[in-house]
Amino acid sequence: MQVKICGIKDIEAAKASIENGADYLGFNFIKASKRLISPDDSQYIVNKIRNMYPKKKFKCVGLFDKELFSDAENIVEFSKLDMIQLCGEGDIDTSIPSIKQIRVKPEDSEDKIIIKIQQYLMIHNYVILDTYKEGKLGGTGEKFDWNSLKNIISTTNVFTSGGLDEDNIPNLIKNFKPFAIDVSSGVETEGKIIQLGGDDIYKSVCRKHFRELTNLL
């Protein structure tokens, strides 16, 4: 199972993610997000973290909405990122490795989501399932109905997101066997990833669930 931590805004959050085995770090460039980061700051963090952990294998991902789609490739190159994540409505075809978000509504059938996944994977490397909420592009802190998409969650190249935290991740891993998970609001307070020492929520989620519970797969 792969793990992506979104909303990286400082070196300490990036360090905690890498040291606890995260495979992807997400940097949010969406202006309306409380996790917003500037290209200059993301470039600094990416360069710093790669110098600190030269032997660690991880990818840095930039999150963009349709207002920034036209600038996404330039920002990714400037910030030394590896991938683009496209959030919300709209789409672009890019030569840079990419992830396309699919926001899941309560009424969406499994067949409908399967068709979307098939369409997007013809263009993008991955898709990420997130909970639909009006006016939000992600980080809602709310989970969608996993049971309704139980045959999809374990599919290769599909990330599961939306309201994941230390209480529900064990159930997700044990009973749904996700290909990959994406966490942001479940390990943060007021838009900042929690960093309080050895037993804080962030490290608990990373250490206990991302590392130890992967042996349930």
pTM for the structure as a whole: 0.84
Closest residue by Cα to residue 52 from 73, 25, 90:
25
Between 143 and 139, whose confidence is greater?
143
For the cut 70, the answer to whether the pLDDT of residue 84 exceeds it is yes
Q: Label the pairing between strands 188-189 and 180-183.
A: unpaired
Assigned CATH class of 2-216: alpha beta
Average pLDDT, the chain: 84
If you compute the radius of gyration of the chain from its CA atoms, what whole number of angstroms results?
16
Whose tokens are 């202006």? That residue is 31
Q: Which is higher by pLDDT, 100 or 189?
A: 100
Residue 133 is given by DSSP the state B
> Residue ranges per domain, the chain?
2-216
Q: How sure is the predictor about 12, in pLDDT bands with cuts at 50, 70 and 90?
A: confident
* The predicted structure's pLDDT at residue 8: 92
Judged against a pLDDT cut of 80, whether residue 214 lies above it is answered with: no
3-state secondary structure of 22: coil
Give dist(CA 77, CA 65) in Å, integer: 17
